[in-house]
Amino acid sequence: MIVLVGLGNPGTPYAGNRHNIGFMALDAIQSRHRFSPWKRAFQGEVAEGKFGAGGDKILLLKPMTFMNESGRSVGEAARFYKIGSADLIVFHDELDVAAGRIKVKKGGGHAGHNGLRSIDAHLDPEYRRVRLGIGHPGDKAQVTRHVLGDFAKADRVWLEPLLDAVADAAPLLVEGNDAAFQTRVALLTAPPKPAKQPPAKPSGE
């Protein structure tokens, strides 16, 4: 069993927040790979499925405990399935990664992210994290407003392709091929190259 966790806050008022990009990533994976419908379990919402007929069983988990208590939900699922940090992958928003980019990291500190802080209190922190870039507002005083603010319409230009790419490449992540996952996402989200212009014809002069 592999558990993919997406971090966010429950409820309609938070649904479009930058802080909820982890929820959005799991929704994209659930839809793309035709996992089971969402149901309530482990103080969260879960969906089950596989990437391919012979793959490991995968549980998608969106904690409904609010961000600061995410570890309660994750810890409950981990104890039930008797899994350790090696079988846990967490998708979360990341201020220090440019908007539309991702980085995969194993272990390390929580860097002030309250969802990770809560999970660390319940589990060994050596789990993998998919850091989904939302960009930094440039002013520390604006961080809370930025994180808890909704994505702007202009953000859809990079947000939707990013979520689609993460869903497409997710099987590579579960296989443990983090580098290939990151490369695949980068290729799928790269802007199209401009078409080469044919050489100018001689003017005949």
Nearest to 67 by CA among 137, 124, 11: 11
Q: What is the pLDDT of residues 79-111, one digit of tens each?
A: 999 999 999 999 999 999 999 999 999 998 888
Q: What is the pLDDT of residues 115-125, one digit of tens each?
A: 999 999 999 99
Q: Are 153 and 127 in contact (CB under 8 A)?
A: no
The model's pTM: 0.92
SS3 readout for 143-195? HHHHHCCECCHHHHHHHHHHHHHHHHHHHHHHCCCHHHHHHHHHHHHCCCCCC
Query: Helix crossing, 178-189 with 156-174: angle to 10°?
Result: 150
What is the pLDDT, as a whole number, of residue 195? 66
β pairing state of 128-133 and 39-41: unpaired
Q: Among residues 19, 92, 113, 146, which one is catalytic?
A: 19
Q: What is the pLDDT of residues 154-205, one digit of tens each?
A: 999 999 999 999 999 999 999 999 999 999 999 999 877 776 767 766 665 5
CATH of the domain spanning 2-189:
3.40.50.1470
Give the residue extent of every domain in the chain.
2-189
- Annotation says 19 is catalytic: yes
Instruction: Say if residue 126's pLDDT is above 90.
Output: yes
